[in-house]
Amino acid sequence: MPEQPGKNAIEVRGVRKVFGTGENQVAALDTVSVSIRENEFFTLLGPSGCGKTTLLRLIAGFDFPSAGEILLHGQDIAPLPPFKRPVNTVFQSYALFPHMTVAQNIGFGLEMLGQPKAEIEARVAQMLKLVKMEALRARRTSQISGGQQQRVALARALAPQPKVLLLDEPLSALDYKLRKEMQIELKRLQHETGITFIFVTHDQEEALTMSDRIAVMSAGKILQVGAPRDIYDRPAERFVADFIGETNFLAGTVVSKKPGVATVKFASNATITAGYPEGFEPSGDVTLVVRPEHADMVPDPAKGTITGTLSNIVYFGTDTHYHVKLDGGENFIVRHQNSRSSPVTYETGAKVGIQFEEDAARVLKD
């Protein structure tokens, strides 16, 4: 279970990875520490170049840390070459052998390990069933679709029963519909095999829907680790709030503080009391973040915590986005879910109030 601390499959301790020398030096990983539990679907999420692939490559053993250590089930894996680590990788490109059949591709790693023929056959049959590719077992992988190739790549990586499976943007080559199907399929495979999955993506929606826990990365650092809900509802930093989902940012100044909550004043002189992350002591200039769906709009401005004028209404079918120019000059978006019996209709130019619960807003570093 994601929220119960389990045993650690992987522990990354103070790992740095520096590429290049002198002026061209890049810290691809800048002292990263994280523990990944057994049987967990763990995602590394972040923009291009933040160090996700570098971290996977260090765990796989394709490269070595400049400093720090990586433990697998408590053992330092530095002395182990890649093929001796109980870790396997699924690459973005799949890296299948096109001249071999589906079954031969799946059995390839087992043959390299010198396993007996009968055992390989049994394991390949089991894997074909797991990824629902039995009917195409004799087909060359150059003659199957992208989604089918993805399944074969997964089966091949799972066949030697690794303790940890590393997946480097494995769905990025698939079209939208297939990607959605494979997301469900991957979750099922992880659940059925009980193998720890470390999944890399820059797609925040993919990370939120698939993961037990997510590590959000930026510029070689891990900024926050948590369950999808934690990360979404309680971002620890502005970057996290901005990278995941849509967020309103309001600049303000702290006027008072109690343990866990701070009262912040805004340009329009409105004040809002909201929580803040552990380890952050709000003072001076801060940013308040509020998700558009956690705010509510009311037709009577007097009933709003903050007030403004409706500047634009954008209809999205399932919901509507209301763009409000606040009296302090900031822009703010409120998202309402549409229902057949929406009680209020708004018009642009109307004065409105915006309300939100104390726990919907969050005070972060400016």
Give the binding site for ligand ATP (CB under 6 A). Answer: 19-20, 26, 28, 46, 48-54, 202
Could you write out the three-class secondary structure of 297-317? EECCHHHCCEEEEEEEEEECC
Q: Which is nearer to ligand ATP, 52 or 336 (CB)?
A: 52
Contact 200, 231 (CB under 8 A): no
Q: Which is nearer to ligand ATP, 21 or 269 (CB)?
A: 21
Distance of closest approach, residue 23 Cβ to ligand ATP, in angstroms: 13
Distance of closest approach, residue 45 Cβ to ligand ATP, in angstroms: 10
Distance of closest approach, residue 328 Cβ to ligand ATP, in angstroms: 37
Distance of closest approach, residue 89 Cβ to ligand ATP, in angstroms: 13
Can you tell me the distance from the alpha carbon of 158 to that of 167, in angstroms, rounded to the nearest whole number?
11
Q: Which is nearer to ligand ATP, 49 or 299 (CB)?
A: 49
Contact 106, 160 (CB under 8 A): no
Q: Locate tokens 């943007």: which residue?
A: 169
Can you tell me the distance from the alpha carbon of 210 to that of 221, in angstroms, rounded to the nearest whole number?
22
Q: Which is nearer to ligand ATP, 33 or 126 (CB)?
A: 33
Distance of closest approach, residue 56 Cβ to ligand ATP, in angstroms: 8
Distance of closest approach, residue 172 Cβ to ligand ATP, in angstroms: 9
Q: Which is nearer to ligand ATP, 244 or 361 (CB)?
A: 244
Can you tell me the distance from the alpha carbon of 119 to that of 107, in angstroms, rounded to the nearest whole number?
10
Can you tell me the distance from the alpha carbon of 36 to that of 281, in angstroms, rounded to the nearest whole number?
29
Can you tell me the distance from the alpha carbon of 296 to that of 146, in angstroms, rounded to the nearest whole number?
44
Q: Which is nearer to ligand ATP, 199 or 266 (CB)?
A: 199
SS3 106: helix
Q: Locate tokens 């997301």: which residue?
A: 183
Distance of closest approach, residue 114 Cβ to ligand ATP, in angstroms: 32
Contact 94, 75 (CB under 8 A): no
Q: Which is nearer to ligand ATP, 101 or 224 (CB)?
A: 224
Q: Which helix or strand (DSSP H or E) is residue 352 part of?
A: strand 351-355
Q: Which is nearer to ligand ATP, 53 or 141 (CB)?
A: 53
Distance of closest approach, residue 28 Cβ to ligand ATP, in angstroms: 3
Can you tell me the distance from the alpha carbon of 78 to that of 60, in angstroms, rounded to the nearest whole number?
10
Can you tell me the distance from the alpha carbon of 56 to that of 28, in angstroms, rounded to the nearest whole number?
12
Angle, to 10 degrees, between the axis of helix 117-130 and the axis of helix 146-158? Answer: 130
